[in-house]
Amino acid sequence: MERAAVILAGGSSSRFGREKALVRLAGKPLICYVFEKVADIVDEVIVVASSEGQKKRLTPLSREPRQIRYRRLRLTQPSSRGVQRL
Q: In what order do the strands lie in the sheet with 4-8?
A: 4-8, 44-49, 68-72
Cis preceding linkage at 65, omega within 30:
yes
pLDDT tens column, 49-72:
877 788 888 888 876 545 556 666
Q: Which one has a higher pLDDT value, 13 or 70?
A: 13
- pLDDT, residue 2, reads 86
The C-alpha atoms of residue 73 and residue 47 are separated, in whole angstroms, by 11
- pLDDT, residue 49, reads 80
- pLDDT, residue 36, reads 87
Pick the CATH number of 4-81 from 3.40.50.1110, 1.10.3720.10, 3.40.50.360, 3.90.550.10: 3.90.550.10
